[in-house]
Amino acid sequence: MNNVRSQKATTALAIGAFIVGCVGLVLGAGEVTRLGRLETERWSNGAEVSQVLRAPLVAAELVEGQSALFEICADDAFESTMWREARVAVVAVRYEEEAAAFALEELLPRVRIQDGVGCLLVAQSDGIRETGEYAIRLSGARLSELRGVRVSGHIGGWMPLQLEGRSVALAFLGFLFLTVLLAFRNATFREHSGRSLAWVLVATAIVIGAVMGVGSAANSAGLAGSLGVLVGACMLVLLQLAASFALKPAELLRPLEGWKRKLAGALFALPLAFLFVLAGRLMSQLVPSTGIAPIESFVERPSGALAMGIVAVAAPVAEEAFFRGALFGALKERYGNLLAGLVCICLFAAVHLPQQWGAWGAFLSVTTLGVGMVILRVLTKSTAYCALVHLLHNALLSLPVLLAS
């Protein structure tokens, strides 16, 4: 009788934690969409210097309160001495008034060069004072003599994160409580229909696809769509798991068994997550990159950082249920731990490869996490505990990104 009551209480708590997590996801998705609509990116097409002296190099509409930056780039990396006599200004177009102006000679020591093209940060604002169109203009008596040199401009604007991170904190707390309950509960495994299992597998596959979509979204519309799919899929998979609580055929979220494992698991969950983060940082520094990974560009803006924070707290339960639960559980029965582990590691790495392409150290750190989760699955025999460590790992990675935004 007491066991039945305990099971019902645990299930009620799990459903409550699931609801809190999903509320955080829904609020976060709305905030990401709002931030995305308030972000501006304008790049001018490269033109010869003589052609842009008579018109703005680039112009963009900015909103009051936005942070903004203004850059210019030249394909001669500003090496000509004629640049030293030039002047660059940020102009409020409505009033034809210069908001900031500099002699280019002052900025040249800070030129950034990549692939032969030099770029200069002209100005940066922590808060635009008035909504309107702003432009970058070049001037200089000798610039018209520059032949064959192309120049371009960039204006970026974004609303800084303020209280929006609360949704990620809410989702994290909900899913953290849920994974703790799943990992440390006393479970009685029972049979479920194949249809119930199929729904969970479909939902986890959708979650993984949505995670890839969020990382590769090109604009706020694509980002909102991917987040919508992610939120819906997470609701489906977690609601099914909360209702079923244990699926014996694949043991999707099997808890720790025995008081010794539970005690060790409680003591080492956070240190293990921290160890995986340190290993990832080390690999990112040791392994050279051949380019900027899509996910690195994605999190440069607050909407991207917030979106990845949401993904970081939503994905672990679904990923572990699928990779270390359904997939590993099905393969190990027939082929053993080694082959099952190798397949899970390779597929886990392949799913994350598009996001990390070019940043090979970061990709290796994700692959190492996959290896670690398989080893943890074999040692603890618990997929739910893997989800807990995975969630803590993602939280440790996401927090600095959100604070920096």
Domain shared by 264 and 129, yes or no: no
Q: In the beta sheet, which residues pair with residue 133?
A: 61
Domain shared by 83 and 184, yes or no: no
Domain shared by 377 and 252, yes or no: yes
Give the pLDDT of residue 194: 47
**CA-based radius of gyration for the chain:** 26
Domain shared by 215 and 92, yes or no: no
Domain shared by 148 and 226, yes or no: no
Average pLDDT, integer, range 284-293: 81
User: Is a pLDDT exceeding 90 seen at residue 163?
Assistant: no
In percent, the amount of the chain with pLDDT more than 70 equals: 79
Domain shared by 119 and 28, yes or no: no
Give the pLDDT of residue 372: 93
Number of domains within the chain: 2
Domain shared by 189 and 282, yes or no: yes
Q: Using pLDDT thresholds of 50, 70 and 90, give the confidence band for residue 355.
A: confident
Give the pLDDT of residue 202: 59
User: Is a pLDDT exceeding 80 seen at residue 394?
Assistant: yes
What gap in Å lies between CA 36 and CA 297, rounded to an integer? 14
Sheet holding 58-62, edge to edge: 58-62, 132-139, 87-92, 97-103
Average pLDDT, integer, range 46-70: 86
In percent, the amount of the chain with pLDDT more than 90 equals: 15
Domain boundary among the residues 115, 139, 158 is at 158
Domain shared by 106 and 226, yes or no: no
Domain boundary among the residues 158, 188, 212 is at 158
Single out the residue of 305, 326, 311, 316 nearest to residue 276, CA to CA.
316
Most confident by average pLDDT, 114-123, 162-171, 230-239, 291-300: 114-123
User: Is a pLDDT exceeding 50 seen at residue 278?
Assistant: yes
Domain boundary among the residues 135, 158, 181 is at 158
Give the pLDDT of residue 358: 83
Cα dist from 138 to 143, 246, 312, 378, whole Å: 9, 66, 43, 63
Cα dist from 272 to 114, 278, 372, 376, whole Å: 38, 10, 10, 10
Average pLDDT, integer, range 180-187: 78
Q: Rounded mean pLDDT of the chain? A: 79
Domain shared by 247 and 362, yes or no: yes
Domain shared by 152 and 191, yes or no: no
The CA angle 206-163-389, to the nearest 5 degrees, is: 45
pLDDT tens track for 222-268: 444 555 555 555 555 555 554 444 444 445 667 788 878 888 888 88
Which CATH number characterizes residue 46's domain?
A: 2.60.120
pLDDT tens track for 86-145: 888 898 888 888 888 888 888 888 888 887 889 999 989 888 888 999 999 988 877 877
Most confident by average pLDDT, 107-111, 184-188, 195-199: 107-111
Domain shared by 195 and 132, yes or no: no
Could you list the residue range(s) of the whole structural domain that residue 116 is in?
Answer: 40-158
Domain shared by 154 and 166, yes or no: no
Give the pLDDT of residue 83: 87
